[in-house]
Amino acid sequence: MSSAGVSDQSWTGTALVVGAGGIGSAVALELSQRFPELTVLTCGRQGPPDQDLKIDLEDDASLDHFTGALQARGDRLRLLFNCSGRLHGPELQPEKRLKQVNRRQLEQQFAINAIAPVLLARAVEPLLKRDQPFHFASLSARVGSIGDNRSGGWYGYRAAKAAQNQLLRCLSLEWSRRWPQTTVTLLHPGTTDTELSKPFQSFVPAEKLFSPQRAAGHLIDVLVRQTPETTGRFLAWDGQEIVW
């Protein structure tokens, strides 16, 4: 748990944590410890054997099945926290210059970092109710800020996160009209010691590299302070607003 120790015993129902990586696992544990009345389910394509729900964010049939599985369970959703993300892989590296930009890598970045979050929202929308509070949170990144971009590079990742920000900003406005108890929040976790950031950690001062547990504590601290009146914000781990 973070040092702030924010707690709200009124959080009940079901929380879905999508993405079984370092931050996702830590977020699921933090939620379970902080909110004992909340049922926390982990969801992902790969992960530990005890993962609760399977979902492939790049497969429409899997997303449809996810909706059906949730409806069959009859859960009252309180939170969906999307912790999925993609920065690098066997055939994917952040671009340092224009000549490294190619269609395949751009599509890979956008599939998980931009398209998946809004399709997740579409998948759970049938379970929303006008009179019940629901938080939809998704990991973004400060490098997705257009206004804050002063170094360039990382074309695909930056653009995909910026696209996610716009898609979920649109979502927050629509849901505020249709589902007035919903809150949509985009969160920058800070540089965290996970597989996603590992190839780039040599450039990060030790005091600015967070453990997944510390990052999760900060993120939940920020999240529980958000309300329908603050929906659609892009916030850093310390609660500071990030310019779009």
- The predicted-structure confidence for 101-135, as pLDDT tens digits, reads as follows 999 999 999 999 999 999 999 999 999 999 999 99
Instruction: Tell me: pLDDT of 201 over 90.
Output: no
Q: What angle do CA 233, 139, 135 make, to 5 degrees?
A: 60
Task: Quickly state the pLDDT bin for 6 (edges 50, 70, 90).
Answer: very low
Q: Is 152 left (phi over 0), alpha (psi -120 to 50) or beta?
A: left
What integer pLDDT is reported at residue 2 of this predicted model? 41
> Residue 237: how many CB atoms within 10 A of its CB?
22
Distance CA 12, CA 141 (A): 28
140 and 85 Cβ atoms separated by less than 8 Å: no
Q: Write the pLDDT tens digit of every residue in 35-93.
A: 999 999 999 986 545 558 999 999 999 999 999 999 999 989 999 999 999 998 888 89
User: Which run of H or of E encompasses 68?
Assistant: helix 60-73
State the average pLDDT for the chain.
Answer: 90
38 and 15 Cβ atoms separated by less than 8 Å: yes
Task: Quickly state the pLDDT bin for 206 (edges 50, 70, 90).
Answer: low
Radius of gyration (Cα) for the chain, nearest Å?
A: 17
Q: What percent of the chain has pLDDT over 90?
A: 79
Domains of the chain: 13-236 (3.40.50.720)
pTM given for the model: 0.90
Which pair of tokens denotes residue 165?
Answer: 């920000």
Does residue 198 sit in helix, strand or coil?
Answer: helix
The long-range contacts involving 63-69, CB below 8 angstroms and separated by at least 24 positions, are: 63/119, 63/120, 63/122, 63/123, 64/123, 66/123, 67/123, 67/124, 67/126, 67/127
